[in-house]
Structure 1
Amino acid sequence: MVNNAMQDGGAVSDSVNGTVSPHLTRLLVRAGIATGLDRSCLAGVPGLAVLHEDGIRIPTATILRVWELVAGPVWKAGGSDRIMELWRPGTLGVWDYLFPVSSTLDDAFRVAGRRFTAIADPADRLLVTRHDGGLTVGWQGPYLDCPEYPLIAEFVPYMLLMVASSGAGRRLTPTQVALPRRPSTSPQRLAELYDTRRIEFDAGHPSITFAEADIDAPLPRADPVLVAILDDHAHLSTAAARPVRGWLDRFHAILESAMADGAPGLDHVAQRLAMSPRTLQRRLREEGSSWREELEKLRRRRVDRLLRETSLSVDSIAARVGFTDSRALRRAIGRWYGHGPAAIRASGPT
């Protein structure tokens, strides 16, 4: 057995830490809009204003926020297959093209794993393990505490299946898929998604296993010279990419920090941003948002998480997120959800 945690084989600047390429985020945004996401929900998300540009990397927090926004409409419409049906070779940039030009899928996954930073955060890793009977490709990322993690974990093996099948020139049938949690999706839909009923739950991380005959078969468009060029290009383009960290990123970070001390004040946050309150309000309007909307969104996310994931009383939660008392919090919850906090707590973690 050989287990290789595949990461970028060359030194990459520390400036790319905490960033991802825009390619997958573009695909998620398209899938969200195609399945009914209101475009206005995307206003003010850091990095989306420059999402169409090449040669950039956007904050990892941006793609996680996009996952949060698209999860509902996309999964109601079918899930991972609704995202990947919009994918074509090249949608994920140079990383996509490493598959068809490699000699075998074994080679393809090793080079694609080594250059995974071309589409992902440097903290993400592809684990490529060769064993008797096949090859398992797993994914590890620092997102276990994200509410959307089960959905991301379902998507990654399917994405790997689709890009591998494209490289092979035929639909591959995995011998097994492993998921860290049992999703709300029906077993029948999962079997149709992955084209196998051999799906294991409660695994340490998501993975997909391919048969030995599939991973060793020569790929029809193999080009060793081209794969070396693309390999080098994937590394150089990642190293040369310009991280986009705008003022809005700083605003959100400062707002989060201020929330930890109680109710954040406009004057205090503006001062920490070295701008006047009036300028801060104008800049937020230019982003399609406002101080009240930003504060409301942050409070709602925190309240939702605290109700679902802790046993704190409503009074304690109200104090933590800056409400004057529990009655004000209950009114806000009723406005957000149409029911009280007990119903949210009873539904459990998302």
Structure 2
Amino acid sequence: MGICWASPSDNRSPTTTGQLSTSVGISHTTTTTTSSDGSTISGNSRFSVASGSDDAYPNGQILPTPNLRIFSFLELKNATKSFRTDTVLGEGGFGKVYKGWLDERVPSKSSSGTVVAVKKLNSESLQGFQEWQSEVNFLGRLSHPNLVKLLGYCWEDKELLLVYEFMQKGSLENHLFGRGSAVQPLPWDIRLKILIGAARGLAFLHTSEKHVIYRDFKASNILLDGSYNAKISDFGLAKLGPSESQSHVTTRVMGTYGYAAPEYVATGHLYVKSDVYGFGVVLVEMLTALRAIDANRPSGQHNLGDWVKPYLADRRKLKNIMDSRLEGKYPSKAALQIAQLALKCLGPEPKTRPSMKEVVETLGTYRFKQ
């Protein structure tokens, strides 16, 4: 995994700067959770897991208010079998993610309930309340087929939890870098499908009315459903992009080494196209099955984005770094064109990188090329 950097924060005073709105809207169907310090987050107590389908909005939408269910801690404790270790799906900077089963109390449903993913804040985590609140404020209102659905949350005393739709195939990171016989290499057409889906999700964020900068695009934050449809997850570091009168926003540097754009690391200046750099790194990871950062590689090869640039414009050189598990079963012309697209995304200056809309259009033309 990449090395994340941030400063510890367990400050329960809500910060709304850089979020979709200064407060989460409250309607007659919402209820409000209040902590001991008086901070509030609103949600929908009558939410159902089946609501909020993306099918009617294939291009995405921004909801006027969140459609989130407020869970009790006891509900989620029961759903995850008391957060048993054998229900752990993964672990990130925020805390562990558990597989859970919600009892919807509907007679027609099986006793096993609806499967969900429950993220629980680790009290020792470098991330804290502000990141949790960012998830609620962004994913509570953003709806798109290529963004993971946030179903609800829990906020009781010091317990902070988030409940998401369950993604059957796990993370892209696991498929690219996981070990063992259970992890099968992804075929070329599935890799391209995943890239296009992830690109669409990122393009929606950039072209939405609020110009959301995701800020932590990486393979572990791309989740896959049962049909390998890609969905971007984890909006704890997301931030609103610059206004029309500004070229960038300046913020504390947070993210993951190897994926973060050089201008952001050096200056703290965050551009919409800073995300494009991270996408370029994931493009290269998909081609090579090599991690963005790996200290075990020879000197000069630790940072994938820097090391592979000379290989991305030459078909013969590219062949030497392509994932050997593909066994040559990929269209060499399309692979080269995607490598060249990655090179553009990894451009040293934000203005030279393509927009994510252009990336989506370009990847779409490669899908059936041989």
**Which TM-score applies when normalising by structure 2?**
0.24
Identify the structure with the greater helix proportion: 1
Q: Which is strand-richer, 1 or 2?
A: 2
TM-score (norm: length of structure 1): 0.25
